[in-house]
Amino acid sequence: MLMAKRILQAERLRRVPPHFSWIDHRLVRADYLRRADAPAWALYLVLVTVGDEHGLSYYGDGTLGRMLSLTDAEVAAARAQLVTADVIAYEKPLYQVLALEPVALAARAGREGPR
């Protein structure tokens, strides 16, 4: 049985902001979330939020760590998980949030488990 949806607060209806930031629903539907742990996804959220229209940002590990209450080592581990999950690219000091793989590739990778 499908649940009927209704807008709870029409005055707070979400819209894509002019500064170009979004989260792709395929992170859930194509099982990307299994590819990394919670601190890595927290880092991803920050990178998506601060990135420009190409997904690029220059935030340093110290700043990211302070924002997320992570040590430099934890930021590095989170970044490594996101690179392995194929959702970001990193060449110090530049991050790029990547477009997600086409649906068929993402689904196959999700069935095969973490990389």
- Helical spans, DSSP H, in the chain: 26-29, 38-50, 61-68, 72-84, 103-112
d(CA 84, CA 37): 12
DSSP category for residue 51: -
The pLDDT value given to residue 115: 44
Residue 110: its pLDDT value, please?
A: 53
Would you say residue 18 lies in a domain? Answer: no
Q: What is the CATH number of the domain that holds 90?
A: 1.10.10.10
Quick check: is 39 in a domain?
yes
| pLDDT, tens only, 35-84 | 999 999 999 999 999 988 888 999 999 999 999 999 999 999 999 999 99
Which is more confident, 55 or 107? 55
Residue 86: domain span: 27-103
pTM confidence score:
0.77
Does residue 55 belong to any structural domain of this protein? yes
Peptide bond into 102 cis (omega under 30): no
Question: What is the domain count for the chain?
Answer: 1
Q: Is residue 9 part of a domain?
A: no
